[in-house]
Structure 1
Amino acid sequence: MSETGVITIRTERLVLRMPDIDDFAAYAGIMASPRSIGMGGPFDLRAAWGMFCHDIALWRLFGHGALMIDLAETGECVGQVGINHGPLFPEKELGWFVYEGHEGKGYATEAAFALRGWAFETLKLPSLVSYMAPGNAASVAVAERLGAHLDPVAPRTDPADLVYRHLAY
């Protein structure tokens, strides 16, 4: 994180940036939709707000958190990538989602690869995990494209979750 507490990561097609209040409406929308089932949802507005604030507070508490995924060419926000931690996460988790209509374009993989690289280099983490609901083929595919491997003995809060481990090389 920079001295100002703001981080931006750029890739070939994306800009990963700190969330701001203008991002909340789309975030609340995905959290209220059936697409959030794999994250424990759908969530009401109060829960979505708490999660959104958690994503931002993590930066102050742990030096990492969520970043919004913008298209570099247009500035359109297409999703979020983040490193989660705190009492709900047994280990630091690399997570991602993209908004409806932006799936299948490689944005989640590109963003997660960039944030994971930043985390390994800056935070000196030996590994990260990604938790996902069984049957979430899209997230499994992202984890596997990133080179993560299934870790059946990793701690998890939901015993049904699949856990993919990302190792720093």
Structure 2
Amino acid sequence: MGAEIPVLTTPRLVLRAQTVEDWPRYLAFMQSDRARFMGGPYDVFGAWALFTGDLAQWPLFGHGGLMIDERATGRCVGQVGINHGPLFPEKELGWMLYEGFEGKGYALEAASALRHWGFTQFGLETLVSYIDPENAASRRLAERLGAVLDSSAPRNAPDDLVYRHPRP
């Protein structure tokens, strides 16, 4: 299936393919308590599997993870992705921000840009976001993106909330 990994830009951000240089900060996030809403914290093996899986989805499905860089500084502030495969019953729009970068609107800006790409360039009809019920920040973000709860959607984790992003 293969796909060229896009570079998406917004007024403040660059969304780009991950590189091995992104691994140390990604690992630190995945081993921290901040990963608890994503099934973590993870050991090195589990974090590496997720890191490489984010990249491997591009040739498998034509979409995957993109790192989020601040345009002004070049600092990587997190990741956004369209995920699929055995862990995600439907194509999922997901996001994570590294510590210190919350509250700046970066996740909203990055998720909006990738969702727009998914609908317009990739031709998706819908996306979902699987969110731990205790992750209030991600729930608010999904709602700010216009997603609505879909209690009938399939999910691998029975307690996850599923927010559906309708095609514009």
| TM-score (normalizing by structure 2) | 0.97
Superposition pairs for residues 11-160 of structure 1, below 5 Å? Answer: 11-160=10-159
* Residue in 1 that maps onto 2:164: 165
Distance 1:118 1:124 in 2: 8
Shift of 1:135: 1.4
The share of aligned pairs that are identical, in percent, is 59
Gaps of at least 5 residues in structure 1 are: none
What amino acid is the match of 2:98?
Answer: Y
What amino acid is the match of 1:160?
Answer: D
Gaps of at least 5 residues in structure 2 are: none
What amino acid is the match of 1:78?
Answer: V
Distance 2:115 2:127 in 1: 8
Spell out, residue by residue over 1:40-93, the C-alpha distance to the aligned partner (whole angstroms, 9 max, x if none): 001000110010000000001000000000001110000000000001110000
Shift of 1:6: 3.1
What amino acid is the match of 1:139?
Answer: S
Shift of 1:109: 0.5
Paired residue total = 167
What amino acid is the match of 1:97?
Answer: M
